[in-house]
Amino acid sequence: MSRKMTLGKKNGETEGLQMNEENLWCLKEDGYDPGLHKHYEGLFTQGNGYMHVRGSFEEGCSDAPQDEEYLRFPDNVTLEKPRHPKSKQGTFIPGIVGRHPLLKEEIVNLPYYLGLEFLSAGERLDMDRCRISGYQRWLDLRDGSLHRSVVWETAAGMKLHCTFTRYLSMAETHLCIQQVQLEVLSGEGRLEVKATLRADVRTNGMNHFARIVPSADSEGSLSLETLTEEGNQIFMLSALEASEAIVWHAENTRMTAALRGECRLRTGDRLTVSKLTTVTTDRDMEEGTARDRAFTHLGHAGNLGWEQMYNRHAAKWKSKWQYADIRIKGDDAAQINVRASLYHLIRSNAEQDARVAICAKGYAGEAYFGRYFWDTEINLLPFFLHTNPQAARNLLLFRYNTLEGARRNARNYGYRGARYAWESSLSGEEQCANWQYADHEIHVTADIVYALYHYVNATGDDEFLERYGIDILVETARYWCDRVDWNREGYGELLGVMGPDEYLPFTRNNAFTNRMVKFSLEQTVASLDSLQSGKPDSYAAVAERLGLRPDERELFRHTAEKLRLPYNSQMEIVPQSDDFAGYADVEFDSLWTDRSRPFGHFISQERNYRSKALKQADVLELMLLFPQEFSHEQLKAAYAYYEPITTHDSSLSVAVHGIVASWLNHKEEAAAFLQRVMAIDFSPEKKGAAEGIHIANCGGLWQLIVYGFAGLASAMWSDTIKLQPRLPEGWEELSFQIVWRGSTTG
């Protein structure tokens, strides 16, 4: 491969763009603060759908071992105190999971392949221990490349300007490209370089690796073959190149493949070291062994050369941005944060692989174990529907592919049909270790059906419903018919339910849940009716495949019709559930003495569960999804009543409130919610990204702008594009493109 190792754009160069434009595309960390290290690791996560790597330093960081073993217990993730105060590296490939004895399935944090260390006369470059100045780091959202620039004054008297650059190729998704340049500003001496692939990594305290085979050769190539306890094989292969003649020596240990080399440098010299790593697994969709494919990928990269490799990667990002970007004139802070959210949404999605979806932390941390929640259908899907329908389709196909797991869940509870998991594994089975959510937060099963229709209405892809959706509809309808209890008046009820508000675990007839279930049953009946009359052959095939009896449709129809809603159009305030009024009032001011921390920290769970304190939007979420069914007065009354008793302890809450505030034309409040949405991951004070990205909130931000400020009528209920803009103060212009029923409008 050619020695010219420019990654396309040189560090700090603006490539003809105005500096301001650069600021609007680069997420920056100015100055190094060890206390924020973990936050930026999450925030600067890079990914390309296939794999994701947290924004850790190449050389690691002192006093932050990555192989600490402990037993993490099932707990409430929102309130749990996380481990690893300083740093947690993270390398994730959606689909590579392991078993935890208490927490069930979890995504495996894979070996760390970014390792590049530098030593001067025995002193290791270490951001916390060395003499460092001029620190700057930024993530360029245009192409997902991460850059760091520091000056290191070594104890031996050399002054080195070090620049680090890396990206995970969006075009060749198995490749990671790294480059480090060291320019000697003054002094001279020997400099050692050590490149590693390290398997001393634990996931939530667990070791998931059964066998590790490190290897390195003096030609500058190193590999690490890892077999997980579940039997997955991961092969990492790196090739090193340096601008100076370096003789490499293998320094492998039991868990690490390592090469060490050295050179002598003088004032004015520049040493450039590049590391090209390819990662393959036995789970990949391509043919051939992981090992063989890794060598093929590396050979392909060699043929392309650095520049072409970068250009192909950058072109892919460019095409994604063409559809996804939102441009805001007049509010630079919002502009950069919105783009950063869109960046994480784009990179989290494996648009070609329907065996996985998007996990709750956007593959940027271990906290939620890589599992799938309703977040996907309700919070993330709208963004994909209108920017990348193929990706949206794949997300729904994931639910179709996991229908068998959902059937097993239903059986485990003694029901017929299919019950989607609150926290889904790869196979669709329930993984939530906490009974409150696993047993009672059943709305997810209906949310998936809502999302199916949202997809069909937004794209016009009716065939999807016929080929895949219908199975989901029938099977989930069967489950609902078993789950409903019948009261003496002949009405169906859903008892013992947790709605979206997770601070009330066991309520009667939650308005959101009952409406979603009613919708789901109604649509099932309508779809079966129209299939039977419009395409009798297809209907016959479905009936046979699913063993559908004619009387079942009547049962679905009857259940839909008789399922009680705890509200009607005459009520001023739509109750969250039948029993909501009976819960205890809370004296928020005396109890919640520090509003920068979650309310849940100030009250025992026992007391919280019998109090009128909402974790997140519930009735307002319902009104967002069925806006045409509620009057303006009801929306206004719901907002006025529920907002003051909502703690927003869940990151899914503020965006919903922002949208409703915007619909009500409460401009200041909507703008304040916008700030809160952005603070969730981007505020250094909150350090919110430390455990991963709140990806549902990223989708929520898109919705706040598109549904809230631009006032787009949801494709769920509108055939045509209708906008009703209400821009926040100071926004001069808002523009974006959307894909609507197959065509793109801007």
Which residues participate in catalysis according to the annotation? 502
Count of residues that bind ligand BGC according to CB under 6 A? 12
Amino acid at 181: Q
Q: What is d(CA 514, CA 648) in angstroms, rounded to the nearest whole number?
A: 23
Q: Which residues contact 746 (CB under 8 A, 6 or more apart)?
A: 735, 736, 737, 738
Q: What is d(CA 447, CA 617) in angstroms, rounded to the nearest whole number?
A: 15
Q: What is d(CA 238, CA 223) in angstroms, rounded to the nearest whole number?
A: 6
Give the CA angle between residues 299, 301, 305 to the nearest 5°: 120
Q: Which is nearer to ligand BGC, 421 or 671 (CB)?
A: 421
- Report, in Å, the least distance between residue 512 CB and ligand BGC: 11
Residue from 497, 617, 652, 680 touching ligand BGC (CB under 6 A): that is: 652
Q: Sheet containing 209-217: which strands, arranged edge to edge?
A: 26-30, 131-140, 145-153, 159-168, 175-186, 270-281, 233-242, 221-228, 209-217
Report if residue 216 touches ligand BGC, rule: CB under 6 A: no
Q: What is d(CA 200, CA 65) in angstroms, rounded to the nearest whole number?
A: 9
| 175-186/743-745 β-pairing | unpaired
Q: Which is nearer to ligand BGC, 506 or 717 (CB)?
A: 506
Helix, strand and coil content of the chain, in percent to the nearest 5, comes to: 35, 20, 40
Q: Which is nearer to ligand BGC, 58 or 502 (CB)?
A: 502
Report if residue 576 touches ligand BGC, rule: CB under 6 A: no
Q: List residues bridging with 206 in a β-sheet.
A: 203
Q: What is each CA distance from 527 to 417, 447, 469, 472, in whole angstroms?
A: 17, 17, 10, 12
Q: What is d(CA 740, CA 746) in angstroms, rounded to the nearest whole number?
A: 10
435 known member of a binding site:
no
Q: Which is nearer to ligand BGC, 374 or 479 (CB)?
A: 374
Q: Is 500 left (phi over 0), alpha (psi -120 to 50) or beta?
A: alpha
Nearest to 47 by CA among 1, 14, 90, 13: 90
Q: Which residue is nearest to ligand BGC (CB)?
A: 650
Q: What b/e sequence results for 323-361 when a residue is b if at least 16 CB atoms lie within 10 Å of its CB, and e otherwise? A: bbbbebeebeebbbbbbbbbbbbbbbbbbebbbbbbbbb
Radius of gyration for the chain, computed over Cα atoms and rounded to the nearest angstrom: 27
Q: What is d(CA 240, CA 20) in angstroms, rounded to the nearest whole number?
A: 36
375 known member of a binding site:
yes
Residue from 11, 23, 78, 737 touching ligand BGC (CB under 6 A): that is: 78
* Residue 605 tokens, joined: 């769970």
Nearest to 488 by CA among 564, 560, 555: 564
Q: Which is nearer to ligand BGC, 82 or 460 (CB)?
A: 82
589 known member of a binding site:
no
Q: Which residues contact 542 (CB under 8 A, 6 or more apart)?
A: 470, 471, 474, 528, 531, 548
- Report, in Å, the least distance between residue 46 CB and ligand BGC: 22
- Report, in Å, the least distance between residue 563 CB and ligand BGC: 23
Q: List residues bridging with 149 in a β-sheet.
A: 136, 163
3-class secondary-structure state, position 259: strand
Q: Are 689 and 364 in contact (CB under 8 A)?
A: yes
- Report, in Å, the least distance between residue 616 CB and ligand BGC: 6
How crowded is residue 497: how many other Cβ atoms within 10 Å of its Cβ? Answer: 24
Q: Binding mask 494-523 vs ligand BGC (x if CB under 6 A, - otherwise)? A: ------x-x---------------------
Sign, CA torsion 569/571/573/579: negative
- Report, in Å, the least distance between residue 36 CB and ligand BGC: 23
Q: Which is nearer to ligand BGC, 576 or 616 (CB)?
A: 616
Q: What is d(CA 349, CA 356) in angstroms, rounded to the nearest whole number?
A: 9
- Report, in Å, the least distance between residue 582 CB and ligand BGC: 22
Nearest to 100 by CA among 281, 212, 228, 234: 228
Q: What is d(CA 496, CA 510) in angstroms, rounded to the nearest whole number?
A: 9
Report if residue 696 touches ligand BGC, rule: CB under 6 A: yes
Residue from 179, 527, 577, 650 touching ligand BGC (CB under 6 A): that is: 650
459: enclosing H helix or E strand: helix 443-459
Q: Which residues contact 543 (CB under 8 A, 6 or more apart)?
A: none
275 known member of a binding site:
no
3-class secondary-structure state, position 242: strand
Q: Which residues contact 538 (CB under 8 A, 6 or more apart)?
A: 466, 531
Query: Interface residues for ligand BGC in 354-383 (CB under 6 A)?
Result: 360, 373-375
Q: Are 51 and 297 in contact (CB under 8 A)?
A: no
* Residue 437 tokens, joined: 């959510």
Q: Which is nearer to ligand BGC, 306 or 373 (CB)?
A: 373
Known binding positions for substrate: 374-375, 615-616
Which residues would be at the binding site for ligand BGC (CB under 6 A)?
78, 360, 373-375, 500, 502, 615-616, 650, 652, 696
